[in-house]
Structure 1
Amino acid sequence: NIINARLRGKPGLFRVALNGERIAAIVPQTDVVAPAKGNDLDAGQNLVVAPFVEPHIHLDATLTAGEPKWNMSGTLFEGIERWSERKEITTHDDIKTRAKKTIGMLVDHGIQHVRTHVDVTDPKLTALKAMVEVRDEVRELIDLQIVAFPQEGIESYANGRALMTEAVAIGADVVGGIPHFENTRDQGVSSVKFLMDLAERTGCLVDVHCDETDDPQSRFLEVLAEEARVRGMGARVTASHTVAMGSYDNAY
């Protein structure tokens, strides 16, 4: 049981009775009660809420700012360059250590559900393999979803399609993409069609970095939305960082 709990929008204190992993009953209390030895968790008259969600984080890259050098322009594209340099010296243990430290910080702030993008533009898939292990090792703390994220592109990176396919086979839960970062508009479109094919075939969810730029000509969101519509996959598809929408003209 959770005792001495406050609930949103309700006056007074409550006891939340648990049955295994489920809430069995919520019972009003007339006053503060002392916890029964070993059976009760005392909320201390604090608010009890459902756990928070972190829907978008990059746990493989966390806690690396300034390594090997700082992003002096403060721009996204220099940030990607700095990560590409850091990625060259990343190891399996390095990723697990940093990811677990960050997960501890998330848990301390009430977050229980986490979706992490993991860079798979790496011939060895070092980060992905490490994060699959982390997902299992932190299962008692958080529910972790892993996105196979092609930071340097699917079509524009050597063997990008094969790496994405292998990442899903190894255990990625979600298929990612970055169409605006591909070398050409046509490659961006074909990358979306490829990742949607892969997700549809394997039953994975989709979460695409889509138009993360202020370029008003970056219009891959329409491509992703249409692919989701015709395949009937809308509920499974997320478009992240749709920044270019803020630059589109009113006619479009």
Structure 2
Amino acid sequence: MVDLLLRRARVADDIDPVDIAVTNGVITAIGTDPPAAATVEIDCAARVVIPGLIEPHVHLDKALLDGRAHAPDDTLAGAIAITGDLKRGFTATDVADRARRVLDSAIVHGTTLIRAHPDVDPIVGLLGVEVLLDLREEYRGLIDLQIVAFPQEGILGAPGTLDLLREALRRGADVIGGCSYNEADLADCHRHVDLVFDLAAEFAVPVDIHADFADDATDPRFALADYIAEATQRTGLGGRVAIGHVTSLASRPSHERQATMARLAAAGVAVVPLPATDMHLGGRADETAVRRGIAPVRELWAAGVTTAYSSNNIRNAFTPYGNADLLDIGLFLAQTSHLSSPPDLRRVLDMATVDAATVVGVADRHGIRVGADADLVVLGTHRLADALLDRPDRCYVIKAGRVVARTTRVTEIVARPIAVVD
């Protein structure tokens, strides 16, 4: 017997609604000839159904710190410094409580997988990793959690970090992270990248590096995308490497941008813009023609670079906004990147679903097709082209074939204009 049946689901704007059957957490049929019965049936009433949303770059351990301190200059350096001070007071209970609040919000907003980047450094040790390892089990069946061992304070500039990263991977971190710009000079930045790739090879894990997070590339530490592409090709890790931010790319001359993006595409390096953070911290010294500081999404698409987006930080010194709603972030990305046509908006939606699945390595089992995991979201809108614009309710959030969240809302106009009688 079918476990779950979604009737009259809108999966594309150019075809009639279909029925989606799910058994044992997997999509088993899609079409207009549904099974006669199912354990659970949901009438989507021609509302849009999309694959589960995927956050490929979130800092759960540093979320919701906005009430504790504020970076006085709202710069990247200021955010790193003030958060470093706050980290000294972190406890397991504190980190877990804040992370749970974000995870719960993400689930309600339709996210079915998060790649989280907890800090690993001499300040907090492995605290963030240990908490997220526990939360990964606690939330199993509700949301998948990938854990990145992330050296926010650098590796060479923070002695002891390399050993901590290795221990994090031994304990079960899924991905090795990097912060390629946070070293003293270019040579150390290159060494940082090399050490990250050495750890990836040692533990057979993917790579996810914070890179090129500056207004421009005048400081060569913020122009390492080409070096990361070279390292990816040298180590044969194409398709398993992502770089986040990459904001300096937008400031480079067109021919340089095109050359770098061609190298990224050829090497199989994905790019993840983080628009809420990138635009908040970027352009702080610009007095005129203030830069947006977001990686050039349309050009990345044209170059064939796998591109997703994510929330990054939520309500802290890096990003004082957010509620773990990927559709909200997607709309902001569209608004700030000149992406407005229906095909553009559909592509932005894909960035948070099928493209993000490629970034985090689950593309083989994610999507709306027979054989894919039944991670699905029923939206309160009737056209995919409107999925961002309408800010729709997540009517049902389905993880592995089970409804894990729903939003029920009644909105109505209860008064009408009073007719004026002449």
What is the TM-score with the length of structure 1 in the denominator?
A: 0.90
Q: Which residue of 2 aligns with 1:2?
A: 6
Q: Deviations over 1:211-250 (max 9, x none)?
A: 1122412322222111101111111111111122223345
C-alpha deviation, 1:24, in angstroms: 1.6
1:79 corresponds in structure 2 to 79
Q: Return the structure number with greater strand share.
A: 1
Give the secondary-structure state (helix, strand or coil) at the position aligned to 1:181.
coil
Partner of 1:50: 51
Q: How far apart are the structure 2 equivalents of 1:13 and 1:141? A: 27
Match of 2:99 in 1: 99
Tell me what 1:195 maps to: 196
Shift of 1:123: 5.3
Structure with more contact order per residue of length (Cα contacts < 8 Å, sep ≥ 6): 2
TM-aligned CA distance change 1:96 to 1:12, over 3 Å:
same
1:184 correspondence with 2:185: yes
Q: Which residue of 2 aligns with 1:14?
A: 18
The offset of 1:188, in angstroms, is 0.8
Q: Is the 8 A contact 2:88 2:124 kept in 1?
A: no
Quick check: 1:8–1:49 contact (8 Å CA) kept in 2? no
Change (3 A) 1:37 1:234: closer
Distance 2:255 2:8 in 1: 56
Q: Is residue 123–residue 163 contact of structure 1 (8 Å, CA) maintained in 2?
A: no
Question: What's 1:205 paired with?
Answer: 206
SS at match of 1:194: helix
For 2:194 and 2:159, the matched residues in 1 are separated by 18
Aligned-pair CA distance for 1:198: 0.5
Asked if the contact 1:59–1:98 (Cα under 8 Å) also holds between the matched residues in 2, the reply is: yes
1:31-70 aligned at under 5 Å gives the runs: 38-67=39-68, 69-70=69-70
Residue 242 of structure 2 is aligned to residue 224 of structure 1? no
1:89 is the counterpart of 2:89: yes
Distance 1:99 1:44, change over 3 A: farther
User: How far did 1:29 drift?
Assistant: 7.2
Q: How many residues align?
A: 247
2:338 maps to which residue? none
- Residue by residue over 1:168-204, the C-alpha shift from the partner in whole angstroms, topping out at 9 and shown as x without a partner, is 1111111111121111211111111111011011111
Matched with 2:164 is: 163
Superposition deviation, residue 56 in structure 1: 1.0
Does 2:242 match 1:241? no
> TM-score, with normalisation over the residues of structure 2?
0.55
Contact residue 90 and residue 124 of structure 2 kept, 8 A: no
Residue type at the aligned position of 1:17? A
d(CA) in 1 for partners of 2:238 and 2:37? 48
Q: Distance in 1 between matches of 2:233 and 2:33?
A: 50
Deviation per CA, 1:31-85: give whole Å up to 9, x if none.
xxxx968532333542111111111111111111131x21221111111112111
Identity rate, percent: 31
Q: Which amino acid aligns with 1:118?
A: P
Q: In 2, distance between residues paired with 1:213 and 1:199?
A: 26
**Whole-angstrom CA distance in 1 between matches of 2:229 and 2:39:** 52
RMSD: 2.1
CA distance in 2, matches of 1:36, 1:29: 12
CA 1:16–1:85: 2 relative to 1, 3 Å: same
Query: Does the CA-based 8 Å contact 2:9-2:48 persist in structure 1?
Result: yes
Counterparts in 2 of 1:13 and 1:248: CA distance versus 1, 3 Å: closer
Contact 1:120 1:148 in 2 (8 A): yes
**Separation (CA, whole Å) in 1 of partners of 2:117 and 2:126:** 13
Q: What residue in structure 1 maps to residue 114 of structure 2?
A: 114
Q: Structure 2 counterpart of 1:5, which letter? A: A
Could you say which residue in structure 2 is the equivalent of 1:142?
143
The CA distance in 2 between the partners of 1:170 and 1:9, in whole Å, is 45
Distance 1:48 1:139 in 2: 23
> Which range moved further: 215-224 or 202-211?
215-224
Does structure 2 retain, via aligned residues, the 8 Å contact 1:13–1:29? no
- Structure 2: give runs of 5+ residues left out of the alignment: 257-422
What is the deviation of 1:15? 2.3
Amino acid at match of 1:139: R
Helix, strand or coil for the counterpart of 1:119?
A: coil
Change in Cα spacing, 1:5 to 1:181, as seen in structure 2 (3 Å) is: same
